[in-house]
Chain A
């Protein structure tokens, strides 16, 4: 009987070798850890050398964590193929759960095998991929000619030592989403709210007339405080990567927001964040009159808050001082090319087409509902064409955006940023908005814990 066991095992081993079927992955025992020279020939890693790759179309593997991004890239590949018959590509997109996609990518890049050619990397994860020697391809030659046409900070956040490694989908301009119906009930006009002081006054009227809070803040997230400090030229981390969470401006901003909560003018979002099921239900049933979130949050309204259709309007954020900035660029996802890509030159051309060209940027609005990084398309007639966003918010969306175009300060994302974001989200903000601790104390505590 003993042979039975051994034979079974051996047979399975043999079988498994035979079944693995990826003929091309010959050079795979590469040891990425240490030998930088080995990197270049890793470029032929198995991902791109799949069976039958010798045909005309170049096979490109693309990973993302957003289904809609995959569809967008696929559609761009289709139109690329129509206009570039000599450079056919076959884009193979895969959507993988968010955290897991980044984990998988880290492992593939660290081990030197199995990475995709093209990949989406979310902004707060990006610094991880800048550690050590970045395993991504420099995009300088496609970006430099376009720097004048795009919002530069949207590629600078994905750079290291003046080498650019990623291109964002959008600007992420933070805007105010007002529920016009509720404002009307309280006799308020969104266009009269110029500063945060105006906003507080309006909020008190709202509370008095309707009993509802004017606005909600995230109790376990970054999207309320960060845009507000960014408006004032402050940030969580400075240019050199020093933690600056407890600067006077940052503390005062938090104190002001906490005061609004104490007054009842603001509420902490149910689910403690704006991107939660609880908040969608709360907002959809008209429980608060406004919220400020980046531009990409539009999609949450259209998809998860159907009852507010036609009631919401988009306006600039209130400024902190007369004439101050009325927006902030928040969040984002970069598309990068990995150094395991077999044909980086072709990929760069395609990436430039998909994310830097006018056509691409117009499609980013049409398909994804994002504010594209090329601001010269913002007043293109295509932006007023009817789609699910204009049906929901009206056709003046880009008028608002154009009015704040030059009021978007860059944000600093450095190696320590993921830790800072987590500490703010998990430590400071719950302390301030849930336990109602003094913001000065809470922010100081986080500052100290981050050295």
Chain B
């Protein structure tokens, strides 16, 4: 994945390299510590706290084994895993398509009510979800969405944060492309999908990983909507390992590592798209 031009390795390049190397170590350190902890028995954690001691005598895969052999709640792990994957994939695809349309509409066009709708977007973004939990729950019940994947996805699918982001991104898009498209006989939606979507590729990259991550880690709303153990998502399942009356720390820590894995793999796999951006075509008008 590295395409660095060796010839340009100047003094400032070295400086940047050192700076970012330090940063990278700091950023990865907690995860490394978590990973080490997942290999140790909980009593080790209780006595010494989260540490980075490498002590091969106490390290083993036992914690993972307890998840895979499925004692009690830990046995539902794979069910929760696949529920989380389904919800994340559906939610991300839908919210990406719909919120980019809305954001683009708000950013590109001047129309009556635009500011009102934008204000509503901000309101939806800023409502503390805790205060609408009860009415939203009643609503979801009456729409017969309780304990379903759609109950988790639909209410938050047209997501305000990505709308806002796409709107801001669209503000920077060149308007002359739009006129050019119209002259070529494109419809408004044609302009959006044919010309603007490729131009917004970096925004799609950023929002994809962001929405996927939010959905993967979402806790409160799925908890309220989903009612049976077999429908739970990973974060809910993981949290139930820690109860005030007897916690299963081993399963929690190992489970936490396994929870990061899929999203990490997804990320590493697609990081070229997310990070490098999908700068197809160009803005070099």
The interface residues of chain A lying within 8 Å CB-to-CB of B190 are 1
Number of B positions contacting A (CB below 8 A): 51
Cβ contact within 8 Å between B145 and A16: yes
Cβ contact within 8 Å between B243 and A17: no
Shortest Cβ distance from A307 into B: residue = B43
Partner of B97, one of A8, A28, A122, A277: A8
Shortest Cβ distance from B50 into A: residue = A277
Is A10 engaged at the interface, CB distance under 8 Å to the other chain? no
Q: Which of B8-16, B23-31, B135-143 has 4 or more CB atoms under 8 Å from chain A?
A: B135-143
The interface residues of chain B lying within 8 Å CB-to-CB of A95 are 73, 229, 240, 243
Cβ contact within 8 Å between A16 and B150: yes
Cβ contact within 8 Å between B189 and A2: yes
CA distance A65 to B43 in the complex (A): 23
Is A380 engaged at the interface, CB distance under 8 Å to the other chain? no
Is A46 engaged at the interface, CB distance under 8 Å to the other chain? yes
CA distance A15 to B149 in the complex (A): 11
Distance from B106 Cβ to chain A, minimum over Cβ atoms (Å): 14
Known A5-B101, A107-B137, A111-B138; contact A284-B43, beta-carbon cutoff 8 A: yes
Of residues 86 through 131 on chain A, the ones whose CB sits less than 8 Å from some CB of chain B are: 92-98, 100, 103-104, 107-108, 110-111, 113-114, 122
Q: Which of B120-128, B166-174, B220-228 has 4 or more CB atoms under 8 Å from chain A?
A: B220-228
Cβ contact within 8 Å between B236 and A71: no
Shortest Cβ distance from B139 into A: residue = A29
Partner of B73, one of A19, A67, A303: A67
Chain A interface size, as a band, is: 35 or more
Is A304 engaged at the interface, CB distance under 8 Å to the other chain? yes
Cβ contact within 8 Å between A285 and B47: yes
Partner of B246, one of A20, A94, A114, A299: A299
Cβ contact within 8 Å between B148 and A16: yes
Known A1-B189, A8-B97, A16-B150; contact A25-B144, beta-carbon cutoff 8 A: yes
Distance from A218 Cβ to chain B, minimum over Cβ atoms (Å): 13
Of residues 1 through 57 on chain A, the ones whose CB sits less than 8 Å from some CB of chain B are: 1-2, 4-5, 8-9, 12-13, 15-17, 19-22, 25, 28-29, 31, 46-47
Is A306 engaged at the interface, CB distance under 8 Å to the other chain? yes
The interface residues of chain A lying within 8 Å CB-to-CB of B61 are none
Distance from A331 Cβ to chain B, minimum over Cβ atoms (Å): 9
CA distance A20 to B143 in the complex (A): 9
The interface residues of chain A lying within 8 Å CB-to-CB of B240 are 65, 67, 95-97
Known A1-B187, A4-B189, A16-B145; contact A107-B133, beta-carbon cutoff 8 A: yes
Of residues 279 through 326 on chain A, the ones whose CB sits less than 8 Å from some CB of chain B are: 280-282, 284-285, 296, 299-300, 303-307
Cβ contact within 8 Å between A5 and B249: no
Shortest Cβ distance from B158 into A: residue = A9
Distance from A294 Cβ to chain B, minimum over Cβ atoms (Å): 11
Cβ contact within 8 Å between A47 and B150: no
Distance from A129 Cβ to chain B, minimum over Cβ atoms (Å): 15
Is B72 engaged at the interface, CB distance under 8 Å to the other chain? yes
The interface residues of chain A lying within 8 Å CB-to-CB of B146 are 20, 22, 25, 46, 113-114
Cβ contact within 8 Å between B141 and A25: yes
CA distance A113 to B192 in the complex (A): 44
Is A333 engaged at the interface, CB distance under 8 Å to the other chain? yes
Known A25-B146, A67-B73, A111-B138; contact A280-B43, beta-carbon cutoff 8 A: yes
B 67-93 binary contact with A (CB < 8 Å = 1; else 0): 000001100000000000000000000
Is A416 engaged at the interface, CB distance under 8 Å to the other chain? no
Is A275 engaged at the interface, CB distance under 8 Å to the other chain? yes
Partner of B72, one of A71, A113, A277: A71
Is A68 engaged at the interface, CB distance under 8 Å to the other chain? yes
CA distance A65 to B138 in the complex (A): 23
The interface residues of chain B lying within 8 Å CB-to-CB of A285 are 47
Is B205 engaged at the interface, CB distance under 8 Å to the other chain? no
Distance from A120 Cβ to chain B, minimum over Cβ atoms (Å): 10
A 63-84 binary contact with B (CB < 8 Å = 1; else 0): 0011110010000000000000
The interface residues of chain B lying within 8 Å CB-to-CB of A277 are 42, 45-46, 249
Partner of B46, one of A12, A25, A29, A280: A280
Most-contacted residue by chain B among A21, A25, A114 (CB, 10 A): A114
The interface residues of chain B lying within 8 Å CB-to-CB of A65 are 240, 243-245
Is A391 engaged at the interface, CB distance under 8 Å to the other chain? no
Distance from A140 Cβ to chain B, minimum over Cβ atoms (Å): 27
The interface residues of chain B lying within 8 Å CB-to-CB of A93 are 229
Cβ contact within 8 Å between B244 and A98: yes
Known A28-B141, A97-B239, A100-B223; contact A281-B154, beta-carbon cutoff 8 A: no
Shortest Cβ distance from B144 into A: residue = A20
Known A1-B193, A25-B146; contact A96-B187, beta-carbon cutoff 8 A: no
Cβ contact within 8 Å between A17 and B144: yes
Partner of A21, one of B48, B133, B148, B244: B148
Cβ contact within 8 Å between B245 and A296: yes
Partner of A333, one of B72, B134, B245: B245
Is A238 engaged at the interface, CB distance under 8 Å to the other chain? no
Knowing that A1-B187, A96-B223 touch, tell me 4 more A-B residue pairs with CB under 8 angstroms: A17-B143, A94-B227, A114-B137, A277-B42
Q: Could you jot down 10 A-B contacts, CB within 8 Å?
A: A1-B187, A5-B97, A12-B154, A16-B151, A28-B142, A65-B243, A95-B73, A103-B223, A122-B244, A333-B245
6 residue pairs, one from A and one from B, having the closest CB atoms: A1-B189, A281-B46, A16-B150, A281-B47, A97-B239, A280-B46
